[in-house]
């Protein structure tokens, strides 16, 4: 199987670029952030205090996360519930960053991610894919962009969805999440040694997709 690992901070366009690149390659696209979001959603829904280890463990024992792919789109289920649309709120974003610091949570999701990569050609995006989940990935890419650019994109996305948002709030939350994701003890966000870094600050969507595809094709030839 050919595995592409794409890591990077929130809002750098990782998921949408990965999805399009996967589509063009005929690979599946796995958005691992959605898995952390799903567990955060489950904890919120069941009123589980994520700092209470016993309650969290109990929740994980009763929770099955599964993924289905339909027309190139990943659908994530918590037990039988399709949570795709419910995990895209700002509240879940914050909760996902909080819950993803917990080793038990990261361990819980590891096999699911690895199994998908063992069984499929994948473009998998997240924070620790090249470093922890798929250390032997064929291609490792780190997609980034300036915090302001990322906040601007997120702001426009939420406005388009009809949400009432303030740009400075988005930027502040994004900087907070970046700090939390890059400074946590376990699997912190950072480019791995052999990752190709793509900065999308000055690139539009199709230029970003092409930069990713060029990188993958270059490696594929070797």
Pick between residue 37 and residue 153 the one whose CB is nearest to ligand DC.
37
- Residue linked to tokens 């037990």: 79
Distance CA 13, CA 153 (A): 9
The span from the CA of 103 to the CA of 135, in Å, is 18
Identify whether the C-beta of residue 23 lies closer than 8 Å to the C-beta of residue 74: no
Please give the helix or strand (H or E) that residue 182 lies within, else none: helix 167-183
**Does 33 sit near ligand DC (CB under 6 A)?**
yes
- The DSSP element (H or E) to which 113 belongs, if any, is helix 103-119
Site string for ligand DC, 181-200 (x = CB under 6 A): x-------------------
The reply to whether 100 sits near ligand DC by the rule CB under 6 A is: yes
102 near ligand DC (CB under 6 A)? no
Q: Which is nearer to ligand DC, 87 or 222 (CB)?
A: 87
Size of the site for ligand DC (CB under 6 A): 14
Is the CB of 93 or the CB of 215 nearer to ligand DC?
93
Applying CB under 6 A, among 29, 140, 150, 177 the residue interacting with ligand DC is 177
CB 209 to ligand DC: min, Å: 18
- DSSP-derived secondary structure for 57-108: HHHHHT--EEEEEETTEEEEEETTEE-TTTT-SHHHHHHHHHHTT-HHHHHH
- Rounded to 5 degrees, φ, ψ at 99 are -70, -25
Binding segment toward ligand DC, per CB under 6 A, in 28-36, 52-60, 165-173, 195-203: 28-36
Among 42, 96, 151, 203, binds ligand DC (CB under 6 A): 96
Contact between 37 and ligand DC per CB under 6 A: yes
Of 42-50, 94-102, 146-154, 197-205: span binding ligand DC (CB under 6 A): 94-102
| β 65-70/73-78 pair status | antiparallel
Nearest to ligand DC of 27, 36 (CB atom)? 36
Sign of the CA dihedral with 133 first, then 62, 181, and 94 last: positive
The site for ligand DC (CB under 6 A) is made up of: 10, 32-33, 36-37, 96-97, 100, 126-129, 177, 181
């Amino acid at each position: 199987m050919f595995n592409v690992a794409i890591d990077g901070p929130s809002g750098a366009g990782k998921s949408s670029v990965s999805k399009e690149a996967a589509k063009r390659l005929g690979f599946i696209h796995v958005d691992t952030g959605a898995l952390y979001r799903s567990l955060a959603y489950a904890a919120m829904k069941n009123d589980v205090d994520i700092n209470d280890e016993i309650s969290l463990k109990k929740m994980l024992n009763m929770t099955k996360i599964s993924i289905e792919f339909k027309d190139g789109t990943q659908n994530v289920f918590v037990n039988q519930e399709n949570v795709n649309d419910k995990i895209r709120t700002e509240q879940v974003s914050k909760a996902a960053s909080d819950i993803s610091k917990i080793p038990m949570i990261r361990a819980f999701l590891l096999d699911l991610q690895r199994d998908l990569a063992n069984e499929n050609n994948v473009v998998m995006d997240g924070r620790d894919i090249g470093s922890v989940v798929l250390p032997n990935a064929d291609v490792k890419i780190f997609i980034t962009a300036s915090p302001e650019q990322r906040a601007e994109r997120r702001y426009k996305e939420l406005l388009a969805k009809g949400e009432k948002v303030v740009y400075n709030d988005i930027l502040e939350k994004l900087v907070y999440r970046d700090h939390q994701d890059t400074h946590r003890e376990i699997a912190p966000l950072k480019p791995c040694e052999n990752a190709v870094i793509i900065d999308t600050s000055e690139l539009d969507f199709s230029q970003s997709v092409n930069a990713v595809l060029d990188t993958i094709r270059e490696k594929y030839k070797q």
